[in-house]
Chains A and B, each alone.
Chain A
Amino acid sequence: MSDFEAILKAYAAAGGNPEFLKSPKIGSLVISGNEVLGLNAIPGLDVRADPLPDGVRVAVRVAPSARIETPVHLCFGVIPEEGVQRILVDYEVGAGASVEFLAHCTFPNALRVQHVMQGTVHVGHGATMRYSEVHYHGETGGIEVLPRLQIRVDEGGRYFSSFSQTKGRAGRIDFDYTVDVDREALAELTAKALGYADDQITVRETIRLNGEGARGLARSRIAVRDRARSEVLATTEGNAPFARGHVDCVEIVRGQAIANAVPVVRVTDDRAQVTHEAAIGTVGKKELETLMSRGLAEEEAVDIIVRGMLG
């Protein structure tokens, strides 16, 4: 099996459709370890990928006013059982542009793998960027995933990001996003993760609402069981008039698992408003009994509730 076929297979295991990575009409990028196995730029979208000793430096440019109608598909993976993959990213979405990225990160055989995603995102004036990242880490837990992004959303821009790891082991996830939101701009961060055995999940989200009328939402949904641990550190700052922010965290805990949530709300302008809600606990009795009274076994009912929450 070629490297490309192997990564396509892993990509499919993570929920991706390999056909998208083969189509010349769809923007795409395929990286396995530190090798760029596929790259397809389309009008309005420029993608550059330069190999590093332990990863790849990626620069993505969306031209001002460009409307990329079809989602751009990205695949990052490590097929061997051991290795380090460092992806240094720089996304630049030009003013008035619109683009959606669907990224699948797949490490199906990981015994000792570290994946670092580090970089910057700039969403220009009035532009919209959607970024969905779906992870599959296999069943061994031998993976460390460290996404670190600094994001800037200019006036009137909109940034939506979704991080999802809901199949297989999480391993160790340490997620750290910081967003600066300008005037009348919007940022929504969603993180969903499932941990079991001795997985460790840390979600750090910071939204700084710096411009007048800026809006932000940090949303996390985590489910842990066995001896897994999760921690959500969500900070939202209201630093400008009429800024509106909200932190929404739900963690479901079962077995010997431990979950922490630390929502921090900081307001430096008396016309801003930031709210938070955090719920940690086991599955609600009423939800559980409702499904059980339809004849579902307890584990089946819990699974449906957790799967629903994790989307």
Chain B
Amino acid sequence: MRQQTRPGPDQALLQVTDLHVTRDGRPILRGVNLTVMEGSIHAVLGLNGSGKSTLAYALIGSAGYALQRGEIRFAGEDITPLSITERGRLGLTLAWQEPARFEGLSVERYVSLGMREPDLQHVRQALIAVALDPDDYLRRYVDESLSGGERKRVELAAVYAMRPRLAILDEPDSGIDILTLEDISKLIRRMQREGTTVLLISHRDEVVAIADAASLMCEGQVQTTGDPRHVCDRYARCCRPCDRARKVETEYDYERL
């Protein structure tokens, strides 16, 4: 485990500078600049195809997202050359929009994988935090037998149990019914209280309401950053009538590749 440095409150935990990323030779991120403050909930808002998920994959170091230019600094350290494992060990992780399935891997084991000192009580608490009854779920498998919503909750529980320094939550509300948005909001606030900085990716402005700051992405760039209300307002006025995003393939399509 790497020695972690602490920037402390009111300091940037994540600094992305002029990030250019291609996927299969096609430019997706075209000079992203983003600063996420330690201890904050920072939302990234944008239409499908704006580059939000690509930004998430680039931040964790996912293969296939070729960095052409730019720098990612995490807790003051340039992590651009680091592997996905090394970034994970620094405390940078991602809850996937459509989480992977694992045959034969129990929920208990899966949730405990990122914990420094796995213990059952902590795993149970993480499941309760995402409104899953541990007695019903601990022994189930993280495979196709879970519904999409259940799998998303298990993913959020696993990220919460890891207690990372920065949790990137990619569309945490997708696939989960509207009634549980409140549960997700509570979980995100709880993560923040317990010391995790949250980068919240969404295309729904109602999710962004819980953020301390927000950035609006369009065509692979951050267009503006500021108060979530102002960013949501600009998103509603400028992005929703806009059809530019439809001209590019979505991250979902890339993910499926």
- Interface residues in chain A, defined as those with a beta carbon under 8 Å from any beta carbon in chain B: 221, 250, 284-287, 289-298, 304-305, 307-311
Interface residues of B in 69-100 (CB under 8 A from A): 83-85, 87-89, 92-94, 96, 99-100
- Decide yes or no: A297 and B85 within 8 Å by CB, A289-B62, A307-B104, A308-B105 being known contacts: yes
A294 touches B104 (CB 8 A): no
Task: State how many angstroms separate the Cβ of B93 from the closest Cβ of chain A.
Answer: 5
Q: Which one of A289, A304, A310 lies within 8 Å of B60 (CB-CB)?
A: A289
Whether B96 pairs with A310 at a CB distance below 8 angstroms is no
Additional 18 contacts, C-beta under 8 A, given A289-B63, A293-B93, A294-B93: A250-B103, A284-B100, A285-B63, A285-B64, A289-B84, A292-B83, A293-B60, A293-B94, A295-B162, A298-B85, A305-B102, A305-B105, A308-B102, A308-B103, A308-B104, A309-B103, A309-B104, A311-B104
Q: How far is the CA of A275 from the CA of B100 in the complex (A)?
A: 24
Q: Does B114 contact A (CB under 8 A)?
A: yes
B113 in the interface (beta carbon within 8 A): yes
Contact A296–B113 (Cβ < 8 Å):
yes
Q: Do the beta carbons of B85 and A296 come within 8 Å of each other?
A: yes
Task: List residues of chain B with CB within 8 A of the CB of A307.
Answer: 104
Q: Which of B84, B92, B102, B105 has the most CB of A within 10 A?
A: B84
B100, A287: Cβ atoms closer than 8 Å: yes
How far apart sit A84 and B101, CA to CA, in the bound complex (Å)?
43
- B158 close to chain A: CB less than 8 A: yes
Q: How far is the CA of A221 from the CA of B63 in the complex (A)?
A: 26
| Shortest Cβ gap from A164 to chain B (Å) | 12
List A contacts of B101 (CB < 8 A): 287
**A290 and B96 contacting across the interface, CB-CB below 8 Å:** yes
Instruction: Give complex CA distance A290, B105 in Å.
Output: 13
**Residue among A287, A293, A304, A311 making CB contact with B84, cutoff 8 Å:** A293
**Alpha-carbon gap, A307 to B110, bound state (A):** 13
12 of the cross-chain contacts (CB-CB < 8 Å) are: A286-B100, A289-B60, A289-B63, A290-B96, A293-B84, A293-B93, A295-B1, A295-B85, A295-B88, A296-B88, A308-B102, A308-B103
Known: A285-B63, A289-B62, A308-B105. Is A295-B114 also a contact (CB below 8 A)?
yes
Beta-carbon contact of A294 and B96 below 8 Å: no
B96 touching A286, Cβ below 8 Å:
yes
User: In the bound complex, do residue B88 and residue A294 qualify as a contact, i.e. CB atoms below 8 Å apart?
Assistant: yes
Bound CA–CA A47/B105 (angstroms)? 38
- Inter-chain CA distance A289–B12, complex, in Å, is 26
Taking CB atoms, residues of chain A closer than 8 Å to B114 are 294-295
A298 vs B89: C-alpha distance in the bound complex, in angstroms?
A: 13
For the complex formed, measure the closest distance between the CB of A128 and the CB atoms of chain B, giving whole angstroms: 23
Question: Which residues on B sit within 8 Å (CB–CB) of A297?
Answer: 85
Q: Which 10 A-B pairs have the closest CB atoms?
A: A294-B114, A308-B104, A295-B88, A308-B105, A295-B89, A286-B100, A287-B100, A292-B84, A293-B88, A292-B85
Which chain A residue has the least Cβ–Cβ distance from B143? A308
Give B158-190 as 1s and 0s: 1 = Cβ < 8 Å from A's Cβ atoms: 100010000000000000000000000000000
Closest approach, in angstroms, between the C-beta of B94 and any C-beta of chain A? 5
Q: In whole angstroms, what is the CA distance A298 to B103 when docked?
A: 18
- Most chain B C-beta atoms within 10 Å of own C-beta, residue among A250, A297, A308: A308
Q: Which residues of B contact A308 (CB under 8 A)?
A: 102-105
Chain A neighbourhood of B64, CB < 8 A: 285
Contacts of A293 in B (CB 8 A): 60, 84-85, 87-88, 92-94
| Residue among A250, A284, A304, A310 making CB contact with B113, cutoff 8 Å | A304
**CB closest chain-B residue, reference A291:** B113
Q: Which chain A residues border B158 with CB–CB below 8 Å?
A: 294
Whole-angstrom distance between the Cβ of A194 and the nearest chain B Cβ: 13
In the bound complex, CA of A166 to CA of B18 (Å):
48
Query: Is A292 a contact of B113 with CB atoms below 8 Å?
Result: no
Shortest Cβ distance from A297 into B: residue:
B85
Residues of A within 8 A of B105 (CB): 304-305, 308
Q: In the complex the two chains form, what is the Cα distance from A293 to B169 in whole Å?
A: 13
Taking CB atoms and an 8 Å cut-off, the chain B residues in 171-215 that contact chain A are none
